[in-house]
Amino acid sequence: MKACGVRLEENTLQEIDRRRGVLSRSDYIRKLIITMLQQPENAQDNTALTNVNALLTAENAHNKEHVEVLKSRIKEQESMIGFLQLEHQKLLPARAWWHFWKK
């Protein structure tokens, strides 16, 4: 291992001594550094996954609302088609369909 020198304020050094327990100061600080170096990657990954999850959930909710709107528009169009078919039948003369080809 290579050595690394760090200057710390007195109150920070006292807090390290208070928390380290039976470990030596060097071992405790080494474990702190290793833990902190590993933690941000995991925390960033978790944060990124949480953000992606939130975005996908919001998009899913928006898509469900959009589907409901489109379903209602389809029902309106289907009812309009039925109405137009009835009106068209009323306008046609009451003859059999094959009579339209006779001249």
pLDDT tens digit string along 24-44? Answer: 888 888 888 888 777 756 666
Q: Which amino acid is at 102?
A: K
35 falls within a domain: yes
73 falls within a domain: yes
Whole-number average pLDDT of the chain: 82
The pLDDT confidence band at residue 50, using thresholds 50, 70 and 90, is confident
Residue 21: which residues within 8 A CB-CB, separation 6 or more? Answer: 28
2 falls within a domain: no
101 falls within a domain: no
103 falls within a domain: no
Kindly give the interhelix angle for 10-20 and 25-91, rounded to the nearest 10 degrees.
90
Percent of the chain scoring above 70 in pLDDT: 83
The structural domain count of the chain equals: 1
22 falls within a domain: yes
Q: Which amino acid is at 84?
A: L
64 lies in which domain range? 10-89
For 13-79, the DSSP string reads HHHHHHHHTTS-HHHHHHHHHHHHHHHHHHHHHHHHHHHHHHHHHHHHHHHHHHHHHHHHHHHHHHH
Assess whether pLDDT exceeds 90 at residue 4. no
45 falls within a domain: yes
27 falls within a domain: yes
Give me the pLDDT at residue 47, please.
75
Sign (positive or negative) of CA dihedral 63, 64, 69, 74: positive
